[in-house]
A and B are shown apart, each in its own frame.
Chain A
Amino acid sequence: MELAIRLLATLLPITYGLVSVAYVLIFFRNDPVARKLAPRMLVITVLLHAAYIALLTVELRRVPIATSFESLSALALALAIVYLVQERRSGTPYTGMLFIPLVFVCQTVASAFISPTVAIKPILQSPLFGLHIAGALLGYSGFAVSAIFGFLYLMLYYELRAHRFGIIYERLPSLEVLSEMNWRAAMFGLGCLTLAIGAGALMSLKIYPQFWRDPKVWLSVLTWVIYSICLLVRLAGGWRPTRIAYFTIAGFLLVVFSMLAANRLFPSFHDFRA
């Protein structure tokens, strides 16, 4: 089983890399072969990825979302699934050019640094911990999707303002669609993050009474505040879509920082290794 896990850990970045190339070809050349192959290749890769996570679960006897790199792999899978659903619903493959390379980067980093032998503290095997991690992962996926659509919105917005009608103008959906996806994904992420923070706080009251001193908690709350401001101001009709797009991109950068860098820069109890 260990061999299969290693094999899949090596294979996944390669297949995601190939799928990324196919989506880039679709965006720039509308290549018919790539258009036919890319979605199929992505489905196969997602199935391989799900098999990888399942094998890790059996091998570690827990769901592999306890460390940063395990979470990153799960995030990559969630993003790939979200993209597949979005592609099926919208019928357009052009946004894959941004989604899939991001999935490729996440999985490449995860595959390079993941350590399947790490055990976690037994106390963290409670259902609340599962809810906390699942909420955080879904929330992060939502923020990632929102940031991508925010970025695409800004690209098209400035192309239109500059009277440039090149490939970006041709391939991207309307500003209204991009703005709506940017907004909806951010709100989905905010809902899930609220769940993650709530479950984490409830659990930590018993295990880590001083949890509010943890830098990752601060960063997560800051992320929550940013997205909540977005929600309130947009509902009050005060912000233009461009400002919301910028805010969601900033929010996602903070998410990446809190996911990857915070544990390394500051002492935190968010290191679940035993």
Chain B
Amino acid sequence: MLADPQGLLIIGTNHRKAPVDFRERIAFGPEEVEAFLKRAHEDLHGSDCFLLSTCNRTEFYTINLNGNSVRDTWTLLSSHKPIDPTRDAENFYQYEGREAVEQLFRVATGIDSQMLGEPQILQQVKTAFEASLKVNVAGVVGERLLAAAVRCGKRARAETDISKGAVSVALAAVSLSHKVFADLAPRTALVVGAGETGSLVAQNLRDHGIGRLLVANRTLEKARTLATATRGEPMDLDGVREALVEADIVITSTSAQTPLISAEMVRAAMKHRHNRSFLLVDIGVPRDIEPAAGSIDNVFLQDIDSLQGMIEQNLLRRRREVPRVEHIISEEVDRFLEWYAGLQVGPVIKELRTRLEELRQHEIQRAHLSSEQREAAEQVTHGLINKILHRPMKLLRHSTSQGEAGMRRMQTIREIFGLDESLDNSNSEKK
């Protein structure tokens, strides 16, 4: 069992722990973060600090090396936000040591998010990491911990399907476009309906690099507003029939009571399209496109039910990936704790002695000496190593009482003597 990182503490809240009005109250705006981190670093006597504040969570991490108590951290938080540590305790979670590391890694992989596996959280962790680095409050352990969290998040996304597949209607509609067409840049999309869903779809299509975007709406003014926001071309519903010939993707989300696009209109358009593939996505209820259009060759018609089916399937697949992500988290936590254990004075001293002893033995064996020469060499090199080690050992023993500075010193010694590398590596570098 690896040693817990002493002093690592996280106090936080998220969508499962507190209602939205409470989360809003204690959230930190981007402009507040740096000032808070500086203040926290001062108040907690130079401890490593890191703050993650998104729409669904606010988490404060600190690595207390200087004898601060948990109560000090609560005091700090309540001096910045309207928090009563006693009354609001049930709205928070608090983890220490290994559990705190696990929590950060769970957040980075997206398995702690409201939308399981959401991809944005990793970027948010990186941004928060950069804020700590910018104001110089991350510290040696904090830097390593945050870099490990980012690596863990990347691994989860690369090695599992935790972030795969669209899980919102607007994204599902766009993901279908990518399954039919290789590249959206040379394609034209027609969005029919400029309401909330239509706006989201149009924005997503623009974000995914659609070449040309047509926006049709019953009220031309509304179509114009959305078209301006998404660099599209506005039109009224009378233009839809003609637009079907040009568009490769049609996404409809109107509240019309009868279908706006008939199978006959699609059939007529296909004659002019020279059999180019045609993707129709109907998000409207009642439906905007006649279902019979889906039976025309090379026409791919999807409605709200099929999109919902896709979303449910993607969520199910993500849920199935959770154990694999947890396995990655466990590996990365062990890896971090192994590094952390190496920062303790005892193991560093032991490793340093072993490393130099290995080098000494290695060089003596390479020298092809007679037994008398070997004996003399043994004596000389022993003495030499003891002399070389004298000062580093003294400094190391003092490191325990020097908090962050001591940690930095231990890390520097590890780097100088290559304690994180194998002997073969260091020998080959020497050659």
Q: How far is the CA of A20 from the CA of B302 in the complex (A)?
A: 34
> Do residues A175 and B277 form an inter-chain contact, with CB atoms below 8 A?
yes
Per the CB 8 Å criterion, the residue count for chain A at the interface is 22
Could you mark each residue 8-49 of chain A with 1 if its beta carbon is under 8 Å from any beta carbon of chain B, else 0?
000000000000000000000010100100000000000000
B302: A residues at CB distance < 8 A: 163
Q: A171: shortest Cβ distance to chain B, in Å?
A: 10
- Sample of 12 further A-B pairs with CB below 8 A, known A156-B179, A165-B165: A30-B161, A32-B160, A35-B159, A160-B180, A163-B302, A170-B164, A174-B178, A175-B277, A176-B181, A177-B182, A180-B182, A240-B298
- Residues 146-180 of A contacting B (Cβ, < 8 Å): 156, 160-161, 163, 165-166, 169-170, 173-177, 180
Measured between beta carbons, the chain A residues less than 8 angstroms from B164 are 170
**What is the distance, in angstroms, from B177's C-beta to the closest C-beta of chain A?**
9
Number of A-B contacts (CB under 8 A): 57
B303 to chain A, nearest CB (A): 8
Chain B residues, Cβ within 8 Å of A237: 274-275
In the complex formed, the residue of A with least CB distance to B183 is A176
Q: Is the CB of B298 within 8 A of A242?
A: yes
* B: contact size bracket: 20 to 34
What are 9 A-B pairs with beta-carbon distances under 8 A? A30-B159, A35-B159, A160-B176, A160-B300, A166-B313, A169-B179, A170-B165, A176-B182, A241-B277
Chain B residues, Cβ within 8 Å of A174: 178-182
Taking A240-B298, A241-B298 as contacts, is the C-beta distance between A163 and B309 under 8 angstroms?
Answer: yes
B195 within 8 A of A: no
Closest to A163 in B: B306
Q: Which B residues between 236 and 279 are near A, CB-CB below 8 angstroms?
A: 274-275, 277
Instruction: Give CA–CA (A170, B175) in the complex, Å.
Output: 10
List the 8 closest pairs (A to B, CB-CB), nearest first.
A163-B306, A32-B159, A165-B310, A176-B182, A177-B182, A240-B275, A174-B182, A237-B274
- By a CB distance below 8 angstroms, the chain A residues around B277 are 175-176, 241
Tell me whether A173 and B298 are in contact (CB under 8 A): no
**CA of A12 to CA of B424 in the docked complex: distance in angstroms?**
35
Tell me the complex Cα distance, A156–B179, Å: 9
Chain A interface residues (CB < 8 Å from chain B)? 30, 32, 35, 156, 160-161, 163, 165-166, 169-170, 173-177, 180, 237, 239-242
Residues of chain B at the chain A interface (Cβ within 8 Å): 158-161, 164-165, 176, 178-183, 274-275, 277, 294, 297-298, 300, 302, 305-306, 309-310, 313-314, 317
Q: Name the distance in Å between A162's Cβ and chain B's nearest Cβ.
A: 9
Considering the complex, give the chain A residue whose CB is closest to the CB of B300. Answer: A160
Question: Chain A contacts of B310 at CB under 8 A?
Answer: 165
Interface pair B180/A175, CB less than 8 Å apart: yes
Distance in Å: Cβ of B280 to nearest Cβ of chain A: 11
Contacts of A165 in B (CB 8 A): 165, 306, 309-310, 313-314
Is B313 within 8 A of A175, CB to CB?
no
Chain A, Cβ-Cβ closest to B177: A174
Nearest chain A CB to B304 CB, angstrom units = 11
In the complex, which residues of chain B have a beta carbon less than 8 angstroms from the beta carbon of A242?
A: 297-298
Find chain B residues with CB under 8 A from A156 CB.
Answer: 179
* Min CB gap B337→A, angstroms: 22
Closest to B159 in A: A32
Residues of A contacting B306 with CB < 8 Å?
163, 165
Say yes or no: A30 contacts B274, CB within 8 Å. no
Given contacts A30-B160, A30-B161, A163-B306, contact A176 B180 (CB under 8 A): yes
Return the chain B residue nearest A32 by Cβ. Answer: B159
Residues in chain B near residue A180, CB distance under 8 A: 182
Distance A257 CA – B275 CA, assembled complex (angstroms): 32
| CB-CB nearest in chain A for B328 | A32
Residues of B within 8 A of A175 (CB): 179-181, 277
